[in-house]
Amino acid sequence: MDSKTRKILRAVSIIIVLVAVFIQLDFIKLNIPVITENIVWLMIIAYGLLLITSKG
């Protein structure tokens, strides 16, 4: 995996985490029950993306 792909995946994971935190803090109001009920899984996906992008 090249560095450009790593940077893009890291940015996506950071955006996912920020959106999840803002939803929990009620900065972002979403009326989509699927997303608001599965915030934990969004965080797990973001952590998985960070693990995939690590150079290991």
Q: Name the nearest CA neighbour of 23 among 7, 6, 8, 40.
A: 40
The two structure tokens encoding residue 11: 């940015």
Domain segments of the chain: what residues?
A: 3-53
What's the pLDDT tens digit per position in 4-25? 999 999 999 999 999 999 988 9
CA–CA distance, 16 with 44 (Å, rounded to integer): 10
Q: What's the average model confidence in pLDDT over 20-32? A: 87
User: CA 7 to CA 27: how far, in whole Å?
Assistant: 26
pTM score of the predicted model: 0.81
pLDDT digits (tens, 9 = 90+) for 36-46: 888 999 999 99
